[in-house]
Amino acid sequence: MTNYVVLKFGDLCVTSGLGTCIGGSNCSYMVVFQYGSIVLFNAREHEVDAYLKIVRNHATGVLHEMRKDEYEVIEKPNLDTWMQAGLDHIMLRFLNIDGIRTIGSVLGQSIALDYYGRQVDGIVAEFTDINRGMEKTGTFSMDSKKLFQLVGKANSNLADIILKLGLFERSDIAWKDAKFGQIWEYLRDEFELTQRFASLDFKLKFVEVNLLVSSLTAMHFNQP
């Protein structure tokens, strides 16, 4: 079961063939993920807002702040090897719909990890302030409602990363075709998905310990 849909815009060019390219055509592709990421291929700058508006019209819980990143995918039919990587780009002999799905899945996860990273950093910052306050005053000032909200936020972030992003699930296309498996593995390494998750997991464990300590502290201070 996939967690995304691929939308195609433009002419009736075919991209399912093994050697079919999208470069130079009027086709644009938008990969929309259930967890909120959007990846555009072959889209002109002036078309981007119109494509995003389509998603906004059907989405729920749209974020007010939108983060963007760019990564160049270059088609080069006379490339000596199937794939050649460089700084902030990857060159392929051709890019078909399977390539779009494979590359889109990694880019979508990468931009989503940025979002969850900011969420977790915010939780860590709150506990840092709490710990500093306790160090100065010797008292615990957070009420139980706020504490439970932080518990829920930390737990939901971890669940989203593991379940919604499918971060540790290998793409079906990558399983079936070694060429796309090579792309998938390279991009995961290039965008450091495993290392970034490990960093988030470490921070969430820090939060977990602080939540436990804070809960016990709150119980202590609330005793008659």
pLDDT band at 93 (very low <50, low <70, confident <90, very high): very high
Token reading at 107: 């880019």
Mean pLDDT of the chain: 83
Q: How far apart are CA 134 and CA 113, in angstroms?
A: 31
| From 22-26, 35-39, 188-192, the region with the lowest mean pLDDT | 22-26
> What pTM did the predictor assign?
0.82
Looking at the chain, list the stretches that DSSP marks H as alpha helix, in order from N- to C-terminal side.
Answer: 48-56, 97-137, 144-159, 172-176, 178-190, 193-222
Report the SS3 class of residue 89.
strand
Report the SS3 class of residue 6.
strand
Mean pLDDT across the stretch 135-147? 71
Mean pLDDT across the stretch 146-175? 82
Q: Report pLDDT for 19.
A: 43
Q: Report pLDDT for 18.
A: 45
pLDDT in tens, 179-198: 999 999 999 999 999 999 99
pLDDT in tens, 51-86: 999 998 888 876 667 788 899 999 999 999 999 998
Q: Report pLDDT for 17.
A: 46
